[in-house]
Amino acid sequence: MRRLLPAALAAILVTAAPALGQTGGMFGSGGGDKPVEILADEGIEWQQNSKAYVARGNAKAISGDTTVAADTLTAYYRDTTGGGTEIFRVVADGTVRITSGQGSVQGDRGVYEVDRAVFVLTGSDIRLMSGGDVVTARDSLEFWEQRQLAVARGAATATRDDKRIRADTLSATLGKSAKGDNEVQRVDAFGNVLVATASETARAETGVYNLERGVATLRGKVRITRGQNQLNGEYAVVDLNSGVSRILPGPPRDGQPASRVTGLFVPNRPAGTPGQPAATPSAAPAADPAAPEGSPGASAVAPVLPARKPAPPDVRSRP
């Protein structure tokens, strides 16, 4: 049975246990007995056979301090042993945006699995914003509510001010700052890692960026570049606040001695001085240190191997 409610009555309260606000994270605070209010400009279908509510036109689902907004919202419910109902999945399509006290996330399509408290976003403009931090992804962004963990996949980036970390996959842990503000506190990076500031870039296979301390710890084929100068090693600690970088050799393995640290330092002298060739119109442009590996403008370097540390679990939920 399908019933289309008129727009003037397009608001319902669904008591869901667990509801969208069950864990007190990205989707608000409070217990599972909080109702979910669903609003829509064009009306709501109650599909009793498929046990779903479909809200169309500027649709919103509100629970506590959290709002899920999209062009279309579909809330699937199931019967409980006590004779009631509970929402177990919410699917959002078109201009999806979720806001709460923790921040906001956006994309073109979202699926929220209530039992696992996991929201998976896909689309062309996927991002999470918390305080002054922004996490973006090309393929998908998962938010694990109970763990306060966001997993960004595909050309993922995490940005704060002029500091940026990019990788194939980023795992960002959210929390409270000393002032009580919401923020990203730690980012774990896997595959083709790039850490960039206004003055230098660092590349590696894997990395951990502590945003509170402003320190990035990098492992595996590390290259730190500042202008034309470059340091190479297997392990590095980069302080993005002070600008101090330490690069170290890898440990001995399989009876082989530790790898050596190497560096290339180019004197910074004006063009035309002795020992420094004058610039010519045909000179090749400088490589873009922030360009992806293998792209035009990227430095000619050895290929980066896959990260040894496994990426976070892939939940990519589908309704």
Q: How do residues 92-102 score in pLDDT, each as one tens digit? A: 999 999 888 77
Q: How do residues 166-222 score in pLDDT, each as one tens digit? A: 999 999 998 887 787 788 999 999 999 999 888 889 999 999 999 888 899 999 999
Please name the residue ranges forming H helices in 229-275: none
pLDDT of residue 102: 75
Helix (H) or strand (E) holding 27: none
**Tokens, residue 20:** 């969208």
Q: Which has the closest alpha carbon to 144: 307, 18, 313, 31? A: 313
* DSSP bridge partners of 45: 4, 54
pLDDT of residue 300: 34
Say what the pTM is: 0.71
Domains identified in the chain, total number = 1
Would you say residue 159 lies in a domain?
A: no
Q: How confident is the model at residue 2 (pLDDT cuts 50, 70, 90)?
A: very low
Residue ranges making up the domain that contains 46: 1-124
Under the phi-then-psi rule, with left for phi > 0, alpha for psi from -120 to 50, and beta for the rest, what region is 64?
left
pLDDT of residue 316: 54
Q: How confident is the model at residue 132 (pLDDT cuts 50, 70, 90)?
A: confident
Of the candidate ranges 124-138, 212-226, 253-267, the one whose mean pLDDT is the lowest:
253-267
CB 204 within 8 A of CB 196: no
Q: Which residues of 111-142 are buried (b: 16+ CB within 10 A; e: fewer)?
A: bbbbeebbbbbbbeebbbbbbebbbbbbebbb
Would you say residue 75 lies in a domain?
A: yes
Would you say residue 78 lies in a domain?
A: yes
Would you say residue 218 lies in a domain?
A: no
CB 149 within 8 A of CB 172: yes
Would you say residue 264 lies in a domain?
A: no
pLDDT of residue 71 exceeding 90: yes
Would you say residue 180 lies in a domain?
A: no
pLDDT of residue 305 exceeding 60: no
Would you say residue 252 lies in a domain?
A: no
pLDDT of residue 239 exceeding 70: yes
Would you say residue 283 lies in a domain?
A: no
pLDDT of residue 308 exceeding 60: no
Of the candidate ranges 72-86, 113-127, 215-229, 273-287, the one whose mean pLDDT is the lowest:
273-287
pLDDT of residue 108 exceeding 80: yes
First vs last Cα of the chain: how many Å apart? 21
3-state helix, strand, coil in the chain (%, to 5): 0, 55, 45
